[in-house]
Structure 1
């Protein structure tokens, strides 16, 4: 990592400092988040172009790492609570936070690429799920429908609405196909902090999450849908690997995820993580 690149405050520490700011940003700050988000989004696309049978996940990490630092940005996950890599690579039954290593991708795998970039004091965060080569029809459907679930969550965004409407839109759509919605990993406030403390659930959480959305509020929406059957009362059971990061569905069912960072506008939402 070049010395010229500014590190987030949590690098070299066991945990980030508590965030005491808010989640509403000025127009100038939003453009800085958009710049970080664009870098992260372009890194995701570059990694996606390299996803083929036979590639290792640590090779994908190198692609993202080199691109991000080449743009003068910092890969936000490196050093965040001890995470060692620039990318989260979550394959098949891995819900999230998979660590790149010598795992070789094979035809038909599903892989989520989650990248966050930090520049000018702010983070931009997104993820996208890819299929390695040709996927089974049910896997293709899961990926397409998870992407659409994110779109529906974004369409639910509007100032004056409670944040729980986002999860309501996502879960009602996912239930049409019998998919489970992962509840324990959520969207979050992002910007000056990688995770600000604002929680954006992807399920029908009313009335527990009644924060009202405001113009200028920035957060992620990142639904994780699974082919597995939810446990009562709808929670997807999961396991954590000994690395303290990798999360898998307990029944080993396939899972997909899509994510964008966005800002609430007068008319709805503006996506800040487009290439």
Structure 2
């Protein structure tokens, strides 16, 4: 890889951030992430400041690793998170498209563990942590935060659960027709996320045909993200939820997200099993470099 442009002026340094749309659908839509290749040694405060200047939900900082091929850190404008799916797809797609990596198998070390990466000519497939599940908040509090009647959730006869395949999301099922009618109260969503030690809410309604398993929206205002157009970790968790409650033994999932934001995105997930237990979680998508920014920091 080529070291980002880093130069010192009186009291400041600069570096180049690649801007990458991840989980695009037919070349459009997707969720943008910042990617800093060959990241210099930076403090948490500096990385948070850079992420804030980039202005996307997450920015990835990449270094060559010793115990894995790469060490990758993920920062929101509010601080570090353990893992980010769309920024992972953005990172390894960018390294492939800039000629730093060839299609093949790699590993990345994150705060969610050392995870496998498979690069193909147009797709990046990433391994996620095995699911960890715990009870979610009560229906009434979730409905108040989302601005919907309780029947919108109760009619699904599905539970609210918190599942993590790298980041803990509150998974919320809603009946058909309600996903587009949400009126989220971001303060209440942030408070509930904090109280339940979750990143945010991943709200879904089941698809009406085999083409799309579920339609989704994701809210993480606790981390400065009101809504995201595509979330790899949230949909990895959702595939595990659906395999448990709706489609036992199902191996392939396709999720649509971002429609409410005018940025429709496509996320695919795959599960492997042994003795009816999930043994591997993989999420894949496409990405496109849309530009770059030179960021100055102290």
Normalising by structure 1, we get a TM-score of 0.25
Q: Which has the higher strand share?
A: 2
Higher-Rg member (1/2): 2
Normalising by structure 2, we get a TM-score of 0.24
